[in-house]
Amino acid sequence: MSYRRRLALTDLAVLVVAVGLAHALHHVVPGATAGSATARTALSLAIVVAWMVGLAVARSYDPRVLGSGPIEYQRVFDASWKLFSVVAVGAFLVSAAGVRSYLLVTLPVGLAGLLAERFLWRGWLHGRRSEDAFTTAVLAIGLREQAERLIREMNGRPGSGYRVVGVCVPVGEVRAGDEVAGVPVLGDLATAGAIAAQVGADCVAVSGSDAITSDVVRRLGWELEPVGVDLMLTAELADVAGPRITVTPAQGVSLLHVDAPRFAGPKFLLKAVMDWTGAALLTVVLAPALLGIALAVRLTSPGPVLYGQDRVGRGGRTFRMLKFRSMRVGADAERTTLQEARNDGAGPLFKQRDDPRVTPLGRVLRRYSLDELPQLFNVLSGSMSLVGPRPPLPAEVSRYEARMRRRLLVKPGLTGLWQVGGRSDLPWEECVRLDVYYAENWTPFGDLLILARTAKAVFGGQGAY
């Protein structure tokens, strides 16, 4: 069974449960009129069918976004709220009875269920893709350097869903038995269409060069059309997310617009609301754990429960970041001596895997990032965000290059791409790249995905010491 069919069947099951729940609880929803059983059943079936159609129309089953994360979730969310906006307006206009239970029960339950099962399916899909299943076979066309970069990005990241199976290069660069990054060179540009059909490629990825003119691309598209092979044009845009890219047709040419990153406006107001609400809920839910950890720290080693450290926040402003104390008192004074002996951290970061200053309880807290929980109070005070770049020390910021300072354009986060991507095991350059990418391309759904991935990273204890 294809992945899309499995996904559609699971979506249908979730919607049937969500609608059935509203159907069963209509009598306990405040202000919901009962109506006849036949009318409720008809409305339930209509909502399920309309929701499935909405998901399809929103292209949430598009193979190009399946397993992608934020884009797929955004399409599910858009299809859901648009459907129920129409349902709410329609019910108001015709004075339909019994709709309130669907708005108050079906929408939140169904949307949460859809996002949850798609998240689970995404994890399963990435696992299968690492075994070369459910992948899109790609024929890369372009210069060797361009093809090598594409192979490194696609074949080096199984979760992308793409796998380069062959390369076509300009005529002068073809050599018998040659390879590019372990992928065979199968021919030149003139034979690319025939080769794509021969090797069973699902799509052809074209990188621009002097040899690949618009006429060459047009003819290639004509050759690929009869055999059902897709044509992709790769853009040399490093670390620019899709929402910032717009294609505008002009006279005889398509213009690729790249929006400048924005660091203010309604989207950041929404982030502030999400941060405060999420931090408040987490603080209430985790209150017993916070009290228990505080008591454990106090009883197992002398010194204060909390440790405050100056960190640099948005715009270069310094704030006091809170943690549960995981080291012995006076640990800061020993840092210089330890740093001279060995530093396991990346770049200007100082870390030691077997840091002698860490208390026995502190090792457990740090392994599972429990020492970071008091930063919820930093989020509530507005100095931090739930998701954002890693909060740096002033000494680190003093050594920043211009590119690194872009991390300071947004609030630092309790978690972020650096944490879900490997935490302290990441090279410094990758830490910087992830933080800058987040600062310039973050989305609300991206934040939710990072929070979900953080739970997995924390429980796994990978890269934390």
Structure tokens at 43: 């409305």
182 Cβ partners below 8 Å, 6+ apart? 151, 155
Structure tokens at 151: 């192979």
Q: According to the model, what pLDDT value does residue 253 have?
A: 67
Mean pLDDT score, 292-301: 93
Question: Between 16 and 152, where is the model more confident?
Answer: 16
Q: Band the pLDDT of 250: cuts 50, 70, 90.
A: low
Q: According to the model, what pLDDT value does residue 427 have?
A: 74
Q: How far is CA 333 from CA 137, 301, 336, 351, 390, in A?
A: 56, 18, 7, 15, 23
Mean pLDDT score, 336-350: 56
Q: How far is CA 54 from CA 57, 68, 76, 270, in A?
A: 5, 19, 9, 25
Mean pLDDT score, 191-203: 86
Q: Report the share of the chain in percent with pLDDT over 90.
A: 25
DSSP 19-80: HHHHHHTTTTSTT-----HHHHHHHHHHHHHHHHHHHHHTTTT-TTTTT-SHHHHHHHHHHH
CB 183 within 8 A of CB 155: yes
Q: According to the model, what pLDDT value does residue 465 have?
A: 47
Mean pLDDT score, 323-339: 75
Structure tokens at 388: 């954002």
Q: Report the share of the chain in percent with pLDDT over 70.
A: 82
Tens of pLDDT, residue by residue over 56-94, are 999 999 888 888 777 888 899 999 999 988 888 877 766
Helix axes 70-94, 37-57, angle to 10 degrees: 140
Most trustworthy range by pLDDT among 24-33, 42-51, 318-327, 362-371: 318-327
Q: Band the pLDDT of 2: cuts 50, 70, 90.
A: confident
Q: According to the model, what pLDDT value does residue 179 have?
A: 84
* Residue 410, helix vs strand vs coil: coil
Q: According to the model, what pLDDT value does residue 418 have?
A: 78
pLDDT at residue 52 is higher than 90: yes
Q: According to the model, what pLDDT value does residue 421 have?
A: 67
Alpha helices in 130-213 (DSSP H): 144-155, 192-198
CA distance 331 to 304: 13
DSSP-derived secondary structure letter, 105 = I
Please, what's the b/e burial string for 222-243 (b: 16 or more CB within 10 A of its CB; e: otherwise)?
ebbeeeebbbbebeeeeeebee
Structure tokens at 437: 């990418």
249 CA to centre of own chain:
29
CA distance 19 to 13: 10
Most trustworthy range by pLDDT among 105-109, 267-271, 318-322, 436-440: 318-322
Poorest-pLDDT segment among 44-48, 109-113, 222-226, 425-429: 425-429
Which secondary-structure segment (H or E) carries 257?
A: strand 253-258
**Helix%, strand%, coil% for the chain, nearest 5:** 55, 15, 30
pLDDT at residue 440 is higher than 90: no
Q: According to the model, what pLDDT value does residue 146 have?
A: 81
CA distance 313 to 320: 10
Question: Between 287 and 448, where is the model more confident?
Answer: 287
Q: How many CA atoms lie within 13 A of 6 on its CB side?
A: 13
pLDDT at residue 274 is higher than 70: yes
Q: According to the model, what pLDDT value does residue 26 have?
A: 65
Most trustworthy range by pLDDT among 43-52, 182-191, 235-244: 43-52
* Residue 245, helix vs strand vs coil: strand
Q: How far is CA 268 from CA 113, 262, 448, in A?
A: 27, 9, 15
In the chain the domains, ranked by start, together with CATH numbers, are: 3-129 (no CATH), 136-236 (3.40.50.720), 266-460 (no CATH)
pLDDT at residue 54 is higher than 90: yes
CA distance 59 to 66: 10
Q: Is the pTM of this model over 0.75?
A: no
Question: Between 99 and 285, where is the model more confident?
Answer: 285
Q: Band the pLDDT of 264: cuts 50, 70, 90.
A: confident
Question: Between 90 and 277, where is the model more confident?
Answer: 277
CA distance 398 to 368: 30
CB 324 within 8 A of CB 374: yes
Tell how strand 413-415 and strand 385-387 pair up. Answer: parallel
450 Cβ partners below 8 Å, 6+ apart? 387, 415, 416, 417, 420
211 Cβ partners below 8 Å, 6+ apart? 143, 170, 189
Tens of pLDDT, residue by residue over 119-172, are 889 888 888 888 878 888 899 888 888 888 888 888 887 777 888 988 888 876
Q: Band the pLDDT of 423: cuts 50, 70, 90.
A: low
214 Cβ partners below 8 Å, 6+ apart? none
CA dihedral 68, 71, 72, 75 (to 10 degrees): -170
Report the alpha-carbon angle 321-325-329, nearest 5.
Answer: 110
Question: Between 116 and 161, where is the model more confident?
Answer: 116
CB 412 within 8 A of CB 314: yes
Q: Band the pLDDT of 321: cuts 50, 70, 90.
A: very high
Q: According to the model, what pLDDT value does residue 20 have?
A: 86
Q: According to the model, what pLDDT value does residue 368 have?
A: 85
pLDDT averaged over the chain? Answer: 82
